[in-house]
Amino acid sequence: MKKNINFIVEENENNLRVDVLINKREELISRTRIKNLILKEKLKLNDEIIKSPSKKVLTGDKLSLNIPEPEVASLKPYDFKLEIIHEDEDLLVINKPAGIIMHPGAGNYDKTIVNALMHYDNNSLSTIGDELRPGIVHRIDKNTSGLVVIAKNNETHENLSKQFSDHTITRVYQLLIWGKLRPSSGRIDTFITRSSKNRQLMEVSRSKGKHAITNYKTIEIFENDKTPTLSLVECKLETGRTHQIRVHMTHMGNSIVGDDKYKKKYKKLKNIDMGLESLISKLNRQFLHAKTLGFIHPKTNEEMIFSSILPQELNNLLKMLKNTSE
Protein backbone atom coordinates (compact mmCIF):
# COMPACT_ATOMS: atom_id res chain seq x y z
CA MET A 1 0.00 0.00 0.00
CA LYS A 2 1.02 3.61 -0.60
CA LYS A 3 2.58 5.32 2.40
CA ASN A 4 4.46 8.49 3.33
CA ILE A 5 7.00 8.57 6.15
CA ASN A 6 7.78 12.01 7.58
CA PHE A 7 9.95 12.90 10.56
CA ILE A 8 12.57 15.33 11.89
CA VAL A 9 16.07 14.15 12.80
CA GLU A 10 16.64 14.17 16.55
CA GLU A 11 19.85 15.10 18.34
CA ASN A 12 20.89 11.51 19.04
CA GLU A 13 20.51 10.72 15.31
CA ASN A 14 22.93 13.42 14.12
CA ASN A 15 25.43 12.29 11.45
CA LEU A 16 23.76 8.93 10.76
CA ARG A 17 23.46 7.64 7.19
CA VAL A 18 19.97 8.40 5.96
CA ASP A 19 19.22 4.75 5.02
CA VAL A 20 20.38 3.59 8.47
CA LEU A 21 18.25 6.21 10.18
CA ILE A 22 15.07 5.32 8.27
CA ASN A 23 15.69 1.63 8.96
CA LYS A 24 16.01 2.38 12.70
CA ARG A 25 12.78 4.38 12.67
CA GLU A 26 10.86 1.95 10.45
CA GLU A 27 12.16 -1.50 11.41
CA LEU A 28 9.74 -3.43 9.20
CA ILE A 29 11.15 -1.83 6.06
CA SER A 30 14.41 -3.52 5.08
CA ARG A 31 17.48 -1.40 4.47
CA THR A 32 17.73 -2.85 0.94
CA ARG A 33 14.25 -1.62 0.11
CA ILE A 34 14.97 1.79 1.64
CA LYS A 35 18.10 2.03 -0.52
CA ASN A 36 16.13 1.12 -3.66
CA LEU A 37 13.47 3.75 -2.87
CA ILE A 38 16.17 6.39 -2.40
CA LEU A 39 17.80 5.43 -5.71
CA LYS A 40 14.36 5.78 -7.33
CA GLU A 41 14.25 9.38 -6.00
CA LYS A 42 11.50 8.76 -3.44
CA LEU A 43 13.29 10.56 -0.56
CA LYS A 44 13.32 14.28 0.18
CA LEU A 45 15.68 15.85 2.72
CA ASN A 46 14.64 19.38 3.63
CA ASP A 47 12.36 19.35 0.54
CA GLU A 48 15.20 18.38 -1.83
CA ILE A 49 15.36 15.00 -3.56
CA ILE A 50 18.27 12.89 -2.27
CA LYS A 51 19.71 10.11 -4.44
CA SER A 52 22.45 8.81 -2.10
CA PRO A 53 21.57 6.21 0.60
CA SER A 54 24.84 7.10 2.37
CA LYS A 55 23.96 10.79 2.79
CA LYS A 56 24.56 11.92 6.40
CA VAL A 57 21.78 13.74 8.25
CA LEU A 58 21.97 16.58 10.73
CA THR A 59 19.86 17.35 13.80
CA GLY A 60 16.70 19.16 12.72
CA ASP A 61 16.73 17.86 9.14
CA LYS A 62 13.27 17.13 7.75
CA LEU A 63 12.86 13.78 5.99
CA SER A 64 10.04 12.62 3.75
CA LEU A 65 10.04 9.14 2.16
CA ASN A 66 7.37 8.25 -0.36
CA ILE A 67 6.53 4.54 -0.59
CA PRO A 68 4.48 4.17 -3.79
CA GLU A 69 1.85 1.59 -4.64
CA PRO A 70 3.60 -1.68 -5.60
CA GLU A 71 4.17 -2.14 -9.31
CA VAL A 72 2.15 -4.97 -10.81
CA ALA A 73 4.31 -7.52 -12.56
CA SER A 74 3.54 -8.31 -16.18
CA LEU A 75 4.99 -11.77 -16.56
CA LYS A 76 4.31 -14.74 -18.76
CA PRO A 77 3.44 -17.88 -16.73
CA TYR A 78 5.82 -20.82 -17.22
CA ASP A 79 4.49 -24.36 -16.86
CA PHE A 80 7.30 -25.72 -14.69
CA LYS A 81 6.66 -28.13 -11.82
CA LEU A 82 7.84 -26.59 -8.56
CA GLU A 83 9.03 -28.86 -5.77
CA ILE A 84 7.17 -27.34 -2.85
CA ILE A 85 8.56 -28.29 0.58
CA HIS A 86 6.14 -26.16 2.60
CA GLU A 87 3.20 -23.86 1.89
CA ASP A 88 0.88 -21.80 4.06
CA GLU A 89 -1.11 -18.57 3.68
CA ASP A 90 2.00 -16.39 3.91
CA LEU A 91 4.90 -18.16 2.26
CA LEU A 92 6.26 -21.01 0.19
CA VAL A 93 9.50 -22.93 0.63
CA ILE A 94 10.65 -24.53 -2.62
CA ASN A 95 13.54 -26.80 -3.54
CA LYS A 96 15.03 -25.16 -6.65
CA PRO A 97 16.81 -27.43 -9.15
CA ALA A 98 20.02 -26.34 -10.84
CA GLY A 99 19.68 -24.88 -14.33
CA ILE A 100 16.88 -22.39 -13.73
CA ILE A 101 17.34 -18.77 -12.66
CA MET A 102 15.27 -17.10 -9.97
CA HIS A 103 13.78 -14.16 -11.87
CA PRO A 104 13.72 -12.58 -15.34
CA GLY A 105 16.81 -10.69 -16.46
CA ALA A 106 18.96 -10.04 -19.47
CA GLY A 107 18.70 -12.98 -21.85
CA ASN A 108 15.98 -14.86 -19.97
CA TYR A 109 12.55 -13.30 -19.56
CA ASP A 110 10.10 -16.16 -19.31
CA LYS A 111 11.63 -19.44 -18.07
CA THR A 112 12.45 -18.59 -14.46
CA ILE A 113 11.25 -19.48 -10.96
CA VAL A 114 9.18 -16.27 -10.96
CA ASN A 115 7.42 -17.30 -14.16
CA ALA A 116 6.79 -20.75 -12.65
CA LEU A 117 5.33 -19.06 -9.56
CA MET A 118 3.07 -16.96 -11.79
CA HIS A 119 1.80 -20.19 -13.36
CA TYR A 120 1.33 -21.80 -9.95
CA ASP A 121 -0.59 -18.90 -8.37
CA ASN A 122 -0.07 -15.39 -9.72
CA ASN A 123 -2.49 -13.84 -7.22
CA SER A 124 -0.53 -14.85 -4.12
CA LEU A 125 2.87 -13.21 -4.43
CA SER A 126 4.31 -10.14 -2.71
CA THR A 127 4.63 -7.06 -4.93
CA ILE A 128 7.00 -4.72 -3.09
CA GLY A 129 10.21 -5.75 -4.80
CA ASP A 130 11.24 -5.13 -8.38
CA GLU A 131 8.27 -5.62 -10.73
CA LEU A 132 10.01 -8.62 -12.31
CA ARG A 133 10.62 -10.27 -8.93
CA PRO A 134 7.24 -10.84 -7.25
CA GLY A 135 7.63 -12.98 -4.15
CA ILE A 136 11.42 -13.10 -4.35
CA VAL A 137 13.01 -12.36 -0.98
CA HIS A 138 16.44 -13.88 -1.72
CA ARG A 139 18.20 -15.73 -4.52
CA ILE A 140 20.48 -18.64 -5.21
CA ASP A 141 22.54 -18.93 -8.39
CA LYS A 142 21.23 -20.55 -11.57
CA ASN A 143 23.47 -23.63 -11.25
CA THR A 144 23.02 -23.97 -7.49
CA SER A 145 20.19 -26.13 -6.17
CA GLY A 146 18.34 -26.02 -2.89
CA LEU A 147 15.92 -24.24 -0.60
CA VAL A 148 14.40 -20.82 -1.22
CA VAL A 149 11.58 -19.03 0.66
CA ILE A 150 8.95 -17.12 -1.35
CA ALA A 151 6.72 -14.40 0.15
CA LYS A 152 3.01 -14.52 -0.66
CA ASN A 153 2.20 -11.05 0.70
CA ASN A 154 3.97 -7.77 1.35
CA GLU A 155 3.94 -7.99 5.15
CA THR A 156 5.67 -11.38 4.99
CA HIS A 157 8.16 -10.05 2.41
CA GLU A 158 9.12 -7.11 4.64
CA ASN A 159 9.50 -9.33 7.70
CA LEU A 160 11.65 -11.93 5.93
CA SER A 161 13.75 -9.21 4.26
CA LYS A 162 14.42 -7.77 7.71
CA GLN A 163 15.54 -11.20 8.96
CA PHE A 164 17.91 -11.51 5.99
CA SER A 165 19.16 -7.97 6.57
CA ASP A 166 19.77 -8.74 10.26
CA HIS A 167 21.59 -11.99 9.29
CA THR A 168 19.34 -14.08 11.53
CA ILE A 169 18.34 -16.52 8.76
CA THR A 170 19.88 -20.01 9.00
CA ARG A 171 21.49 -21.03 5.69
CA VAL A 172 23.61 -24.16 5.38
CA TYR A 173 25.12 -25.32 2.08
CA GLN A 174 26.81 -28.59 1.10
CA LEU A 175 29.59 -28.50 -1.49
CA LEU A 176 32.40 -30.54 -3.02
CA ILE A 177 35.72 -28.77 -3.53
CA TRP A 178 39.07 -29.56 -5.12
CA GLY A 179 41.80 -30.33 -2.58
CA LYS A 180 41.71 -29.88 1.19
CA LEU A 181 40.85 -26.82 3.22
CA ARG A 182 43.52 -25.64 5.62
CA PRO A 183 42.52 -25.37 8.37
CA SER A 184 39.86 -28.05 7.89
CA SER A 185 37.25 -25.86 9.58
CA GLY A 186 37.07 -22.17 10.31
CA ARG A 187 35.58 -18.76 9.59
CA ILE A 188 36.24 -16.72 6.44
CA ASP A 189 35.75 -12.99 7.11
CA THR A 190 36.41 -10.67 4.16
CA PHE A 191 34.91 -8.02 1.92
CA ILE A 192 33.48 -9.07 -1.45
CA THR A 193 33.31 -6.69 -4.40
CA ARG A 194 32.78 -6.89 -8.15
CA SER A 195 35.86 -8.10 -10.04
CA SER A 196 37.85 -5.36 -11.77
CA LYS A 197 38.81 -7.84 -14.52
CA ASN A 198 35.40 -9.42 -15.18
CA ARG A 199 32.25 -7.53 -14.16
CA GLN A 200 30.25 -10.78 -14.10
CA LEU A 201 32.41 -12.15 -11.29
CA MET A 202 33.00 -11.18 -7.68
CA GLU A 203 36.28 -11.20 -5.74
CA VAL A 204 37.66 -10.82 -2.24
CA SER A 205 38.84 -7.34 -1.29
CA ARG A 206 40.76 -6.09 1.73
CA SER A 207 38.81 -2.88 2.14
CA LYS A 208 35.98 -2.30 -0.35
CA GLY A 209 32.69 -4.00 -1.15
CA LYS A 210 30.33 -5.75 1.26
CA HIS A 211 31.30 -7.55 4.45
CA ALA A 212 31.01 -11.33 3.98
CA ILE A 213 31.33 -14.11 6.57
CA THR A 214 31.28 -17.86 5.85
CA ASN A 215 31.70 -20.55 8.53
CA TYR A 216 32.89 -23.86 7.12
CA LYS A 217 33.79 -27.37 8.20
CA THR A 218 35.16 -30.34 6.29
CA ILE A 219 32.80 -33.34 6.41
CA GLU A 220 34.88 -35.90 4.47
CA ILE A 221 38.09 -36.04 2.40
CA PHE A 222 38.42 -38.35 -0.62
CA GLU A 223 41.99 -39.20 -1.55
CA ASN A 224 43.72 -42.27 -2.97
CA ASP A 225 45.47 -43.53 -6.12
CA LYS A 226 42.25 -43.57 -8.15
CA THR A 227 40.70 -40.40 -6.73
CA PRO A 228 41.81 -36.77 -7.08
CA THR A 229 41.88 -35.05 -3.69
CA LEU A 230 38.37 -33.78 -3.08
CA SER A 231 36.57 -32.62 0.07
CA LEU A 232 32.92 -32.60 1.04
CA VAL A 233 32.33 -29.36 2.95
CA GLU A 234 29.48 -27.71 4.80
CA CYS A 235 29.20 -23.91 4.87
CA LYS A 236 26.98 -21.87 7.18
CA LEU A 237 26.46 -18.30 6.05
CA GLU A 238 26.41 -15.30 8.37
CA THR A 239 25.90 -13.00 5.38
CA GLY A 240 24.48 -13.61 1.92
CA ARG A 241 26.57 -11.85 -0.70
CA THR A 242 26.54 -12.53 -4.43
CA HIS A 243 28.46 -15.78 -5.15
CA GLN A 244 29.72 -15.68 -1.54
CA ILE A 245 30.63 -19.36 -1.04
CA ARG A 246 32.08 -19.68 -4.55
CA VAL A 247 34.25 -16.60 -4.03
CA HIS A 248 35.37 -17.62 -0.53
CA MET A 249 36.30 -21.14 -1.59
CA THR A 250 38.30 -19.78 -4.55
CA HIS A 251 39.96 -17.34 -2.15
CA MET A 252 41.03 -20.31 -0.02
CA GLY A 253 42.48 -21.99 -3.13
CA ASN A 254 39.77 -24.67 -3.28
CA SER A 255 37.25 -23.96 -6.02
CA ILE A 256 33.97 -25.88 -6.17
CA VAL A 257 33.78 -28.93 -8.43
CA GLY A 258 31.83 -28.07 -11.59
CA ASP A 259 32.06 -24.30 -11.15
CA ASP A 260 32.73 -22.98 -14.64
CA LYS A 261 33.12 -19.34 -13.58
CA TYR A 262 35.42 -19.56 -10.59
CA LYS A 263 37.65 -22.39 -11.79
CA LYS A 264 40.19 -22.85 -14.55
CA LYS A 265 39.06 -24.98 -17.47
CA TYR A 266 38.68 -28.64 -16.54
CA LYS A 267 41.83 -30.63 -17.25
CA LYS A 268 41.93 -34.36 -17.89
CA LEU A 269 43.00 -36.15 -14.76
CA LYS A 270 45.44 -39.04 -14.98
CA ASN A 271 45.11 -42.48 -13.42
CA ILE A 272 41.68 -42.04 -11.89
CA ASP A 273 38.60 -44.25 -12.05
CA MET A 274 37.02 -43.77 -15.49
CA GLY A 275 33.48 -43.73 -14.14
CA LEU A 276 34.40 -41.04 -11.62
CA GLU A 277 36.17 -38.96 -14.26
CA SER A 278 33.11 -39.19 -16.50
CA LEU A 279 30.78 -37.98 -13.74
CA ILE A 280 33.07 -35.04 -12.91
CA SER A 281 33.68 -33.98 -16.51
CA LYS A 282 29.98 -34.17 -17.45
CA LEU A 283 28.75 -32.26 -14.42
CA ASN A 284 27.05 -29.21 -15.95
CA ARG A 285 26.67 -27.32 -12.68
CA GLN A 286 28.63 -26.50 -9.55
CA PHE A 287 28.46 -29.01 -6.71
CA LEU A 288 26.72 -26.55 -4.40
CA HIS A 289 23.39 -27.22 -2.68
CA ALA A 290 21.38 -25.05 -0.28
CA LYS A 291 20.69 -27.84 2.20
CA THR A 292 19.12 -26.08 5.20
CA LEU A 293 16.98 -22.95 5.53
CA GLY A 294 15.66 -21.61 8.82
CA PHE A 295 13.74 -18.49 9.84
CA ILE A 296 11.08 -17.16 12.20
CA HIS A 297 7.62 -17.33 10.63
CA PRO A 298 6.44 -13.71 10.17
CA LYS A 299 2.90 -14.39 11.42
CA THR A 300 3.19 -17.18 13.99
CA ASN A 301 6.69 -16.31 15.33
CA GLU A 302 7.42 -20.03 15.15
CA GLU A 303 10.99 -21.07 14.35
CA MET A 304 10.94 -23.02 11.09
CA ILE A 305 13.81 -25.21 9.82
CA PHE A 306 13.72 -27.00 6.48
CA SER A 307 16.22 -29.47 5.01
CA SER A 308 16.64 -31.04 1.59
CA ILE A 309 18.71 -33.93 0.25
CA LEU A 310 21.30 -33.68 -2.50
CA PRO A 311 19.83 -33.88 -6.02
CA GLN A 312 20.50 -37.09 -7.92
CA GLU A 313 23.38 -35.85 -10.09
CA LEU A 314 25.32 -34.70 -7.01
CA ASN A 315 24.41 -37.76 -4.97
CA ASN A 316 25.61 -40.08 -7.77
CA LEU A 317 28.99 -38.37 -7.82
CA LEU A 318 29.27 -38.56 -4.04
CA LYS A 319 28.40 -42.27 -4.05
CA MET A 320 31.02 -42.94 -6.73
CA LEU A 321 33.60 -41.07 -4.67
CA LYS A 322 32.82 -43.13 -1.60
CA ASN A 323 33.06 -46.38 -3.60
CA THR A 324 36.39 -45.52 -5.24
CA SER A 325 37.81 -44.33 -1.92
CA GLU A 326 37.11 -47.59 -0.07
Active-site amino acid positions: 141
Its sign, for the CA torsion 277, 285, 211, 166, is negative
In contact, 2 and 14? CB cutoff 8 Å: no
Give the separation between CA 288 and CA 310, rounded to whole angstroms. Answer: 9
DSSP-assigned beta bridge partners for residue 171? 293
DSSP string, 37-92: HHHTT-EEETTEE---TTPBP-TT-EEEEEEPPPPPP----------EEEE-SSEE
User: Helix 154-165 and helix 31-39: axis angle, to 10°?
Assistant: 110
Q: Let me know the angle formed at the C-alpha of 308 by 304 and 309, rounded to the nearest 5 degrees.
A: 155
Give the separation between CA 191 and CA 187, rounded to whole angstroms. Answer: 13
